[in-house]
Amino acid sequence: VAGMRRRVRQLFDRRTADRERGAVLVETAILIPVIILITFGVIEFSSAYQASSTAASAARSAARTASAQAMLEPYARNAAAAASTALKTIPANEPVEMWVYKANNEGYPGANGNTSFSSCSTNCIKYQWDVAQKKFDTANPSGGGWLNTAQNACNPGEWDSVGVFVKLDHRFLTKMFGTTVALTDHAVFRLEPAPTQLCG
């Protein structure tokens, strides 16, 4: 009788162990994809956040440059050069374009009341990114233009503000969350007072 009980207990223990082993395998099969998804999500969105921060840095650098060179002829080209330098830390195929524009009261291009970047045709200079050169193409600008001589940096209290808009097309590595995501940022600075000789 004791031997029979021992054999029954061994059989029961073996079946219990098999069930537990099977449950562990099922749980592992469920958890592994979730862990992989979370891991790649952290990697992908950390990369996107870094690209977004770079876009913000490029916009600030370019706007600061344009502001400091108020009423000087190469202000927009130099702003584009500053943005190009700031964007060198991200893949060369991600930057798309930048705008240098006269900012309205809300910090956007166009007349007061506009609060979007849907268009930039007046007092605006657009530069497209040159992937081969890894910089903005300053030789072929578009937009309505904003002449340095039309800037107001001479009359206190009436100074214009310059804005810079930067757009990136961030590419996901794994494509688990899509292929690309558009990232944009802008910065606005008041023009610094121009030298006396420029204010005539």
DSSP code, position 178? B
Residue at token pair 């930039």: 120
DSSP character at residue 154: S
Confidence of residue 197 (pLDDT cuts 50, 70, 90): confident
The Cα–Cα gap between 63 and 125 comes to 13
pTM, entire model: 0.83
68-91: average pLDDT: 96
**Other beta carbons within 10 Å of 80:** 26
DSSP letter (8 states) at residue 195: P
Burial bucket for residue 173 (CB in 10 Å: 0-12, 13-18, 19+): exposed
Is residue 50 helix, strand or coil?
Answer: helix
What proportion of the chain, given as a percentage, has pLDDT over 90? 66
Structure tokens at 118: 């849907």
Look up residue 108 and give its two tokens.
């956007």
Distance CA 167, CA 76 (A): 16
Question: Which tens digits make up the pLDDT trace of 47-69?
Answer: 999 999 999 999 999 999 999 99
142 or 5: whose pLDDT is higher?
142
Query: Does the pLDDT of residue 16 top 80, yes or no?
Result: no
pLDDT, averaged across the chain: 89
- pLDDT tens digits for 166-196? 999 999 988 887 899 999 999 999 999 988 8
Give the DSSP H/E element, type plus range, for residue 127: strand 124-130
Asked whether the beta carbons of 83 and 126 are under 8 A apart, the reply is: no
CB contact at 8 A, 97 and 127: yes
Contact between 99 and 143 (Cβ < 8 Å): yes
DSSP per position, 66-100: HHHTTT-TTHHHHHHHHHHHHGGGS-TTSEEEEEE
